[in-house]
Amino acid sequence: MKVELSPEDIITLQKTNDETALHNHNNKRKPDGQPKEPEQDKSITFPAFDLSTKRIGFGNGTNRVTTAAYEVKFHPAHSTILKSLLIKSLVLDPLPTSDTNIHFIPNSLIQSTDATTVKNQLTQQNRFLAQTGIIPIFNINEESMNGSTNNGIKTRLLAIPSVIGIEPTCLTETTGKWLVLVKKA
């Protein structure tokens, strides 16, 4: 997911960092007894969030459509900036939504569009889940995966027509775990 941060987004995220620094300040004092000022860090840290799976549905009776979705949970103080970034990722993605290119869909979609659009999004999600398999691979460091220009494992795997993509995991750096997304036969 690629998102361009606007100057306003950067300022908002830096304010979040400044608030965190103030809360984490441990009242240290200078040699003359005056309180130390918190260090000004201009780096940007995204607020913490949790990702969990949730079964969602829409419609009634035979018109009901359900799917498994990821729910992004975060502190209400950070909801505006994180939701804004996720929506930007949806709007700015040059690839249209398809069975192999999925997008962030806000929970409030029904409030801004019609029932058919919501059902189509959920149906597309179900088709993606039904047609996509995930193969975990292990013991491959980043250098071997990305390699030189056309020599990496990633380049060779993506040349296979049934391979959709390759995603790193939180264990990529330690155990060399990657997820290979493939089209089911």
Number of helical (H) and strand (E) elements in the chain, helices listed first: 7, 5
Segments making up each domain of the chain, as ranges: 7-137, 138-185
SS3 label, residue 17: helix
Q: Is 122 exposed, middle or buried (0-12, 13-18, 19+ CB in 10 A)?
A: buried
8 pLDDT above the threshold of 80: no
Residues 6+ apart with CB under 8 A from 149: 155
Q: What is the pLDDT of residue 20?
A: 47
159 pLDDT above the threshold of 60: yes
136 pLDDT above the threshold of 90: yes
Give residue-wise pLDDT tens across range 112-122.
788 888 888 88
140 pLDDT above the threshold of 90: yes
What predicted TM-score, i.e. pTM, was given to this entire model? 0.57
The secondary structure of 27-71 as a DSSP string is --B-TTSPBPPPP------PPPEEEEEEEEEESSGGG-EEEEEEE
Instruction: Write the DSSP symbol of residue 131.
Output: H
What is the distance between the alpha carbons of residues 108 and 106, in angstroms, rounded to a whole number?
5
Q: What is the mean pLDDT of residues 129-157?
A: 88
Q: What is the pLDDT of residue 182?
A: 93
Q: Is 37 exposed, middle or buried (0-12, 13-18, 19+ CB in 10 A)?
A: exposed
97 pLDDT above the threshold of 50: yes
Q: What is the mean pLDDT of residues 141-165?
A: 87
Q: Is 165 exposed, middle or buried (0-12, 13-18, 19+ CB in 10 A)?
A: middle
Q: What is the mean pLDDT of residues 135-147?
A: 91
132-137 and 65-74 as β-strands: parallel, antiparallel, unpaired? unpaired
Q: What is the mean pLDDT of residues 66-83?
A: 80
Out of 17-26, 36-45, 143-152, 155-164, which region has the weakest mean confidence (pLDDT)? 17-26
Phi, psi angle pair for 36, to nearest 5°: -75, 145
Give residue-wise pLDDT tens across range 86-96.
777 767 777 76
154 pLDDT above the threshold of 50: yes
What is the distance between the alpha carbons of residues 174 and 22, in angstroms, rounded to a whole number?
33
Number of neighbours of residue 13 by Cβ within 10 angstroms:
20
| Amino acid at site 125 | Q
22 pLDDT above the threshold of 50: no
State which H helix or E strand residue 144 sits in.
Answer: helix 142-146
62 pLDDT above the threshold of 80: yes
Q: What is the mean pLDDT of residues 141-146?
A: 89
What is the distance between the alpha carbons of residues 103 and 88, in angstroms, rounded to a whole number?
10
